[in-house]
Structure 1
Amino acid sequence: MVLRVGFVREHFSTPLLQFLDADQGKTFTLVECPSGTGQLIKRLDGTEEPQIDIAMQTCLALLYSALTDPLISGIANGSKAYKLCGSYVSTPLNWAVITGKDTKYQSIDDLKGTTIGISRLGSGSQTMAYVMALQNGWPTEELKFQINNDIRGLLDSVNDGSTSAFMWEWFTTKPFVDAGEGRFIGSVPTPWPSWLIAAHPSPDRAPVAAVQAFLSKLSEYVQAFEGAGPGRVEVVKAKFGYPEEDIQAWLKTVSYPQDCLAIPTKVITDTLRVLEKAGVVKAPASGFNVDDFVHKDVVRLT
């Protein structure tokens, strides 16, 4: 069986793309999801085509690697479309706060009470807006959002005035800021490791053996990338065309796991605690059960 792996074409996906180059589509294919984690989830649950089996945010179709927070909040809020099955990036994600090139907004403080652009409902861009509000003492129930689908829609919205700002990964948006299409007015790192991997729970979509084999091999590629030293700069530059200084700055901030088939229990519990404070999820009377979030036949909790 060839797994359909959803992903977002960002520098984080470099080891995955190296894996694809070697695999040549024998065991998996990639499905690009430019709108991010919200789109990954919709393609996992079958409400948007093409479907995927694994999500990585990077995204796997019937497997997918995606942002930690919307994956966990989706399950906490009742989604049965996927279970967590592994880890992809073990360091936090630095979310830039971007406004239009000529707007009045000069800092995060200026955004209180305004309309924030997001890619999709339930996306990382929305979850992190809640985290930003929580960190600044704003009432999360008063946040206002406008859905703009992708980076182009988000940039258009801050420049036409329909939104005040949006949040997206720093180095992904930097080329647009460098080109004068927007301005950075702050950043908010995630209070959790940035990427987990999720798979559809059906054995018809994502057979356990196939998922385990994929993640085991992916572990080899992320560790090879970790150990490649200065050579990593040229690899990322060839894949994405970013300036060398930006790649070097990013590489100082990112780390991948030793084993993609393991998830630290603390990642799930800490993320749920922050999401509950932000009002994104609500714990049942009995509290959250970590086992409800993971594909127990695939992943190892540590």
Structure 2
Amino acid sequence: MKKINIGGVPEHFNLAWYLTLKERAYEKEGISLRWKDYPEGTGAMCKALRNEKIDIAVILTEGIIKDIIAGNPSKIVQTFVESPLIWGIHVAADAPYNTIDDLKGTKAAISRFGSGSHLMAYVNAENNGWDTDDLEFEVINNLEGAIDGLNKGKGDYFMWEHFTTKPLVDQGIFKRVADCPTPWPCFVIAVRTELLEKDEETVKTILSIINEMTAKFKDIPNIDEMIASRYEQQLEDVQKWLSLTEWSQEIIDEKTITKVQDKLLSLDIIPQKWKYKDLTHKVT
């Protein structure tokens, strides 16, 4: 049995992985695939790839591109979710901020430097004509840290996926002042280069299994009710999320890689652009 470790955020986007694991689909192919949740998000997964704690990550596109350029020995093998991620911009429920303009010059709470919440704060600032040099950050580790931190004045706003945080808005813990969608497909599958070089066939089998599941995911009977129950979401919110979300079974294209790098370079988040072939690997 080949042992492979994989990581991802504990969110509804990754339910397809849970379902394939529940079916023991990988074990039937001689693969012991072990899933690890990373509630801290992209920055923590990048570190885990570098430290060989995981072999594969289901990770934000912009985050892994930045980290590969910074020395992470991994390659993007596929787009996982084709649609954009909708980042909700949240403040404490009793905060004096009600619009995006109110947040200019305030401090962003982020999970960690290099995380999606960090990088998207730059994208949001640019979208609103703010000077990105003026951005300030407070590290709060994860969503739980944001719940505790924002209400104690540790950071003024926090960006996290809209539907994951919707229950917190409904409960009056957060107030959402705006949304900020990513201008590209949100999640990709990244694999450590060493594994690709040593055992590409196992990676191919894993991708084949998950792609078969995501291709039929929306047609699974009562999938909306399953998601609502598992992730403590309102059924109508899940149904809206499903209508907005599209999975992919293809390698990320060169145009998208260029678009992400152009944006990251313009924001001084990466020092230079890399060639498409140096960031990606087509599993055959």
Q: When the two structures are superposed, what TM-score results if normalisation uses the length of structure 2?
A: 0.93
Name the amino acid aligned to 2:63. P
Distance 2:189 2:113 in 1: 20
- CA 1:205/1:41 → structure 2, altered by over 3 Å: closer, same or farther? farther
1:121 matches 2:123: no
Listed as ranges, the gaps of 5+ residues in structure 2 are none
Distance 1:92 1:274 in 2: 15
79-88 vs 217-226, which moves further: 79-88
1:97 matches 2:79: no
94-103 vs 137-146, which moves further: 137-146
- CA 1:255/1:204 → structure 2, altered by over 3 Å: closer, same or farther? closer
1:280 matches 2:269: yes
- Offset, 1:107: 1.3
Counterpart in the other structure of 1:36 = 41
1:96-127 CA distances to partner (integer Å, 9 max, x unpaired)?
Answer: 00000111111111112211000011000001
Pick from 49, 52, 59 the counterpart of residue 66 of structure 1: 59
Q: Are 2:49 and 2:72, in contact at CA under 8 Å, matched by a contact in 1?
A: no
Counterpart in the other structure of 1:207 = 199
Q: Secondary structure at the match of 2:244?
A: coil
- Offset, 1:161: 1.2
Distance 1:206 1:40 in 2: 21
Name the amino acid aligned to 2:45. L
Distance 2:197 2:204 in 1: 14
- Offset, 1:281: 1.6
Q: Are 1:116 and 1:144, in contact at CA under 8 Å, matched by a contact in 2?
A: yes
1:54 matches 2:40: no
Listed as ranges, the gaps of 5+ residues in structure 1 are 56-64
Distance 1:151 1:52 in 2: 22
CA RMSD in angstroms comes to 1.8
1:207-250 CA distances to partner (integer Å, 9 max, x unpaired)?
Answer: 2111111001111000010333x632123234323221111111
Pick from 192, 196, 203 the counterpart of residue 188 of structure 2: 196
Q: Secondary structure at the match of 2:257?
A: helix
Counterpart in the other structure of 1:17 = 18
Q: Where do residues 131-280 of structure 1 align in structure 2 (5 Å cutoff)?
A: 131-203=123-195, 207-228=199-220, 231-257=222-248, 259-260=249-250, 262-280=251-269
- Offset, 1:276: 1.7
- CA 1:211/1:146 → structure 2, altered by over 3 Å: closer, same or farther? same
User: Which structure has greater helix proportion?
Assistant: 2
Name the amino acid aligned to 1:295. H
Q: Secondary structure at the match of 1:207?
A: helix
Q: Are 2:122 and 2:267, in contact at CA under 8 Å, matched by a contact in 1?
A: yes
Pick from 286, 290, 293 the counterpart of residue 276 of structure 2: 290
Distance 1:106 1:239 in 2: 31
Alignment length (residue pairs): 279
Counterpart in the other structure of 1:59 = none
Identity %: 35
1:158-213 CA distances to partner (integer Å, 9 max, x unpaired)?
Answer: 11112110100001011111111111010100000010010111138972111111
